[in-house]
């Protein structure tokens, strides 16, 4: 009798636990459905897609501005492609959208011979549609081979209530633009398959994001100059290269031939108006201005486009500080092979008397300076008309390196303008 009562008590307890767990799961699902995830993948108690363009919940296609979503979706695609490379038939099936599997008659036995080849994917453009915790992303990207010319398209669906995803490859559809891809009319919940199609939000900080941007751009400089040229800031392109692609390729050839292009990041910092400046070990500088994830423009130095903040600082500085700033500009122009713009800063009389044309000036610079120049100002001597600056220029930044002494004569003009010559 006692055993019977004990058994009834145990069964009642089990039923009670099941009921409580069911209530918790239903409440959790409802909670996720009524709330959304912010930039960092955290729940926000309001029905607004934090970090996105619209203030109201997104129903139609919108460009993804949220970096956490953008790089998390990219990571989902690379999980799927990595499974293909590893030959994981079950994993690949678990990643794929069920409709795609049915339409293509895919099974565990035939999946690896009826699917695309695995590769590394780099997302470049992304649009989202949202219905509470259900997201559908149309993704444009490229093969991550340092050339970035082979375009690929995907649809990636996320279900935030279970952190699950599914992928629809579009490599057989011959799309050339995301506008050609129809968005899904209805978003459905996603079941977790063998725990394979689970995802975690990939939260990159500014340093990680802008390192990714800089590496992408430097690889374009090395391997795809046409695409790199298109990514230059328009004002910078005009001032630095006179909107001449040939001048740009001449710059790249000089940088490549002298092994000056590198992706070893030394420092990343905020620059001006939400821009970041990335400095590399070889002292290359990239000013990056991003409007959306992976959609950005680049300037190759900080002296060509003069910012309002620089003007304010320069005009309020002492003459000694102005001269030092201008010497720094001259040395950076030499290191960047910015010969034409440097030539235009020469004192006119000095230019006429010493150089028949810009090629003579380029030869002069090549004989007088090193490939990479590190410098320090030894002395400044001011007179009524100009300032004479003695500059010690080192071949590199190693101990006991070769150096030479150069003298620069500089005249300050209005605003940020100046003229100079070598003595």
Determine, yes or no, domain membership for 314. no
Separation between Cα atoms, residue 151 and residue 106, nearest integer Å: 24
CB 193 within 8 A of CB 92: no
With a cut of 70, say whether residue 253 has pLDDT above it: yes
Joined together, the tokens standing for residue 195 give 């725990």
- In CATH, what number is assigned to the domain containing residue 175? 3.10.450
Separation between Cα atoms, residue 245 and residue 336, nearest integer Å: 16
| 221 and 87 belong to one structural domain | no
Most confident of 47-51, 280-284, 323-327: 323-327
> What is the β-pairing status of strands 151-159 and 164-169?
antiparallel
Determine, yes or no, domain membership for 18. no
With a cut of 90, say whether residue 28 has pLDDT above it: no
| 52 and 176 belong to one structural domain | yes
Spell 345-377 as b/e; 16+ CB within 10 A means b: bbbeeebeeebeeeeebbeeeeeebbebbbbee
pLDDT at 310: 95
With a cut of 90, say whether residue 7 has pLDDT above it: no
Strand order in the sheet with 151-159: 62-63, 121-131, 134-143, 151-159, 164-169
pLDDT at 38: 56
pLDDT at 200: 95
* 227-231, 271-275, 367-371, range with the lowest pLDDT: 271-275
CB 18 within 8 A of CB 146: no
Separation between Cα atoms, residue 77 and residue 70, nearest integer Å: 11
Which three-class secondary structure state does DSSP give residue 417? coil
| 70 and 161 belong to one structural domain | yes
Residue 136 banded pLDDT, cuts 50, 70, 90? very high
With a cut of 60, say whether residue 2 has pLDDT above it: no
What does the angle CA 367 – CA 240 – CA 394 come to, to the nearest 5 degrees?
Answer: 30
Determine, yes or no, domain membership for 190. no
Determine, yes or no, domain membership for 142. yes
**What is the H or E stretch that residue 298 is in?**
strand 295-299
For residues 58 and 193, the model is more confident at 193
Residue 292 banded pLDDT, cuts 50, 70, 90? very high
Asked which of 180, 196, 226 is the last residue of a domain, the reply is: 180
pLDDT at 48: 39
Determine, yes or no, domain membership for 84. yes
pTM of the model: 0.85
What total number of domains does the chain contain? 3
Q: What is the DSSP string of 366-416?
A: HHHS-SS-EEEEEEEEE-SS-EEEEEEEESSSSTT--EEEEEEEEEE-STT
Separation between Cα atoms, residue 380 and residue 320, nearest integer Å: 8
Most confident of 20-24, 40-44, 57-61, 183-187: 183-187
pLDDT at 198: 96
Distant-in-sequence, close-in-space partners of 289: CB < 8 Å, separation ≥ 6: 233, 273, 274, 275, 296, 297, 298
| 411 and 350 belong to one structural domain | yes
Which residues constitute the domain of residue 399?
319-422
| 295 and 325 belong to one structural domain | no
With a cut of 60, say whether residue 95 has pLDDT above it: yes
Determine, yes or no, domain membership for 185. no
Residue 60 banded pLDDT, cuts 50, 70, 90? confident
pLDDT at 23: 60
| 172 and 53 belong to one structural domain | yes
Strand order in the sheet with 403-412: 374-382, 387-394, 403-412, 418-422
| 277 and 146 belong to one structural domain | no
For residues 408 and 58, the model is more confident at 408
Distant-in-sequence, close-in-space partners of 389: CB < 8 Å, separation ≥ 6: 323, 327, 377, 379, 380, 381, 407, 408, 409, 410
| 265 and 359 belong to one structural domain | no
Tell me the torsion sign for CA atoms 203, 209, 212, 217. Answer: positive
Separation between Cα atoms, residue 175 and residue 325, nearest integer Å: 50
With a cut of 70, say whether residue 218 has pLDDT above it: yes
| 275 and 360 belong to one structural domain | no
CB 92 within 8 A of CB 227: no
Determine, yes or no, domain membership for 101. yes
Asked which of 299, 328, 361 is the last residue of a domain, the reply is: 299
Determine, yes or no, domain membership for 361. yes
pLDDT at 98: 96
With a cut of 70, say whether residue 49 has pLDDT above it: no
The pLDDT mean for the chain works out to 90
| Mean pLDDT, residues 263-269 | 93
| 213 and 287 belong to one structural domain | yes
* 270-279, 299-308, 404-413, range with the lowest pLDDT: 270-279
The owner of tokens 């002296």 is 303
With a cut of 90, say whether residue 33 has pLDDT above it: no
| Mean pLDDT, residues 381-398 | 94
pLDDT at 16: 67
pLDDT at 397: 86
With a cut of 90, say whether residue 47 has pLDDT above it: no
| 122 and 214 belong to one structural domain | no
Which three-class secondary structure state does DSSP give residue 20? helix
| 33 and 175 belong to one structural domain | yes
């Amino acid at each position: 009798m006692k055993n019977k009562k004990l058994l009834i008590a145990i069964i009642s307890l089990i039923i009670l636990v099941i009921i409580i767990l069911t209530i918790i799961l239903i409440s959790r699902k409802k909670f996720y459905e009524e709330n959304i995830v912010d930039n960092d993948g955290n729940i926000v108690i309001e029905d607004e897609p934090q970090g996105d363009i619209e203030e109201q919940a997104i129903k139609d296609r919108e460009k993804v501005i949220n970096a956490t979503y953008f790089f998390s979706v990219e990571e989902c695609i690379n999980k799927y492609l990595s499974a293909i490379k590893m030959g994981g038939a079950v994993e690949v099936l678990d990643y794929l959208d069920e409709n795609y599997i049915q339409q293509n008659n895919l099974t565990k036995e035939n999946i690896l011979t009826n699917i695309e080849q695995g590769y590394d994917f780099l997302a470049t453009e992304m649009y989202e549609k949202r219905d509470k915790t259900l997201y559908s992303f149309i993704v444009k990207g490229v093969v991550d081979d340092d050339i970035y010319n082979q375009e690929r398209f995907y649809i990636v669906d996320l279900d935030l209530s279970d952190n699950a995803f599914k992928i629809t490859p579009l490599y057989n559809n011959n799309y050339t633009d995301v506008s050609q891809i129809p968005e899904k009319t209805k978003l459905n919940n996603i079941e977790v398959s063998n725990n394979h199609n689970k995802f975690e939000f990939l939260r990159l900080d500014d340093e990680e994001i802008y390192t990714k941007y800089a590496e992408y751009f430097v690889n374009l400089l090395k391997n795809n100059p046409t695409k790199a040229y298109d990514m230059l800031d328009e004002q910078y392109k005009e001032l630095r290269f006179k909107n001449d692609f040939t001048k740009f390729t001449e710059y790249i050839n000089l940088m490549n031939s002298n092994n000056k292009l590198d992706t070893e990041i030394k420092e990343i910092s905020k620059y001006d108006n939400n821009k970041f400046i990335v400095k590399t070990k070889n002292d290359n500088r990239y000013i990056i201005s991003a409007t959306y994830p992976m959609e950005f423009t680049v300037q190759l130095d900080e002296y060509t486009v003069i910012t309002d903040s620089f003007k304010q600082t320069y005009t309020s500085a002492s003459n000694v500080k102005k001269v030092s700033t201008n010497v720094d500009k001259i040395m950076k122009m030499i290191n960047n092979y910015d010969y034409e713009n440097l030539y235009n800063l020469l004192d006119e009389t000095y230019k006429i008397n010493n150089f028949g044309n810009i090629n003579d000036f380029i030869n002069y610079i090549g004989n007088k300076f090193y490939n990479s120049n590190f410098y320090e100002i030894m002395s400044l001597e001011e007179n009524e008309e100009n300032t004479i600056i003695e500059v010690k220029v080192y071949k590199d930044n190693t101990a006991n390196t070769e150096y030479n002494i150069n003298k620069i004569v500089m005249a300050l003009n209005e605003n940020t303008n100046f003229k100079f010559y070598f003595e």
